[in-house]
């Protein structure tokens, strides 16, 4: 292990290079067109959803879903306090109020009892983040949303390839989304995919994404819209990455299992129960003691790690008060270990040796 191992790196090879060269040789205009349709079709098929709309990022995808559902000023949307900040920011930018709810320690996803308590007459939706491919009981989440007549939106940014009872995450509510940013299991550099089975929502989202146009290429704008179109350059890369998705998902599961095995018996490391039959973890996530000291030690040994997200409510952007004990504990002790899909078993064994060295010998 001579080179520094980053916590996560994207992985492109000759296939993406060749596909891009072919695309330009055939006179591609780079703008969003046929290749994006092809990518959308392959994501819809893979996830078993009727429609897929590709857009500039996962955050933009969530924003478009909220706008298309008419969610905005005067509305509240429930989001977990423990998530990537984009989840909450999409709500803010739609004009609604993100209401933070703590997560459950068993899966690091929204605590559904907490969700019930946080619903008010202003609540229009709950955004369920399936953290690292794990999920709470999805039928219960759906039942809560239905009973309170609010929308269930899925932030499945980290869950491409993960399921609950055989059904792909992202497809349980009115709409779901995935992120294709650089650290994800597959990537287009930046990018986000919306999935929905609603024809009406699909049409609205396409319209909002394209300046509110009545139809593509026609300069008539019956509604206020945005420009959240992508480029076929991203989609050419995405099509090649989608072909690699099945084996990368399997590799992530193997990696997770190997880390667990190698770190067995290290009492300073705590795991979140992860059912690898259903979840394909994009990152190896653990709770550790002496997190900063471990990070420093591993860095000096050529191994990169990343602390998990801080509680969103306490970020300067929100500055809210409240009690979120589970989020706070996880934010303090949570750590992402090296997770790039190209890591070899020997790399993982070496990384685990160093972790054991830190706890057992240092």
Ligand X SMILES: Cc1ncc(COP(=O)(O)O)c(C=O)c1O
State in angstroms the smallest separation of the CB of 126 from ligand X.
Answer: 14
Measured from the CB atom, the residue of 283 and 358 that comes closer to ligand X is: 283
Spell out the residues 6+ positions from residue 187 whose beta carbon is closer than 8 angstroms to its own: 10, 180, 181, 237, 241
List b or e across 168-198, with b for residues whose CB sees 16 or more CB atoms inside 10 angstroms: bbbbbbbbbbbbbbebbbbbbebbbbbbbee
State in angstroms the smallest separation of the CB of 140 from ligand X.
Answer: 20
7 binds ligand X (CB under 6 A): no
| Distance separating alpha carbons of residues 8 and 337, to the nearest angstrom | 9
Count residues near ligand X (CB under 6 A).
14
Measured from the CB atom, the residue of 173 and 358 that comes closer to ligand X is: 173
155 binds ligand X (CB under 6 A): yes
Instruction: Report the residue from 192, 238, 304, 338 that binds ligand X according to the rule CB under 6 A.
Output: 192
User: Which residues ranging from 59 to 98 are in contact with ligand X (CB under 6 A)?
Assistant: 59, 83-84, 86-87
Q: Which stretch binds ligand X (CB under 6 A): 16-24, 154-162, 241-249, 349-357?
A: 154-162
285 binds ligand X (CB under 6 A): no
Site string for ligand X, 235-274 (x = CB under 6 A): ----------------------------------------
129 binds ligand X (CB under 6 A): yes
Site string for ligand X, 97-126 (x = CB under 6 A): ------------------------------
């Amino acid at each position: 292990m001579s080179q520094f191992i980053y916590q996560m790196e994207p992985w492109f090879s000759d296939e993406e290079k060749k596909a891009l060269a072919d695309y330009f040789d055939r006179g591609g205009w780079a703008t969003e067109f046929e290749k994006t349709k092809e990518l959308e079709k392959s994501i819809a098929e893979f996830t078993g959803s009727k429609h897929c709309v590709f857009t500039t990022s996962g955050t933009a995808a969530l924003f478009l879903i909220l706008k298309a559902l008419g969610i905005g000023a005067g509305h509240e949307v429930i989001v977990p306090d423990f998530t990537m900040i984009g989840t909450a920011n999409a709500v803010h930018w739609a004009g609604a109020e993100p209401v933070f709810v703590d997560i459950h320690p068993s899966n690091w996803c929204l605590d559904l009892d907490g969700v019930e308590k946080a619903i008010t007459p202003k609540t229009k939706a709950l955004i369920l983040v399936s953290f690292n491919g794990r999920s709470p009981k999805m039928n219960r989440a759906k039942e809560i949303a239905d009973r309170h007549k609010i929308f269930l939106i899925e932030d499945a940014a980290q869950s491409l390839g993960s399921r609950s009872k055989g059904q792909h995450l992202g497809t349980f509510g009115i709409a779901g989304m995935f992120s294709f940013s650089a650290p994800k299991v597959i990537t287009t550099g930046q990018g986000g995919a919306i999935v929905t089975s609603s024809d009406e929502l699909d049409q609205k989202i396409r319209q909002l994404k394209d300046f509110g146009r009545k139809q593509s290429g026609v300069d008539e704008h019956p509604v206020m819209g945005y420009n959240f179109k992508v480029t076929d350059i991203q989609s050419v890369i995405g099509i090649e990455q989608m072909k690699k998705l099945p084996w990368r998902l399997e590799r992530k599961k193997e990696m997770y299992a190997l880390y667990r095995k190698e770190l067995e018996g290290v009492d300073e490391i705590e795991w979140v129960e992860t059912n690898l039959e259903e979840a394909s973890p994009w990152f190896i996530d653990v709770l550790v003691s002496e997190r900063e000291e471990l990070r420093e030690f591993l860095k000096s040994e050529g191994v990169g790690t990343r602390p998990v997200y801080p509680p969103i409510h306490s970020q300067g952007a929100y500055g809210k008060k409240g009690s979120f004990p589970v989020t706070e504990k996880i934010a303090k002790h949570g750590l992402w270990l090296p997770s790039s899909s190209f890591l070899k078993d020997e790399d993982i064994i070496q990384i685990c040796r160093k972790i054991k060295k830190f706890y057992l010998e240092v």
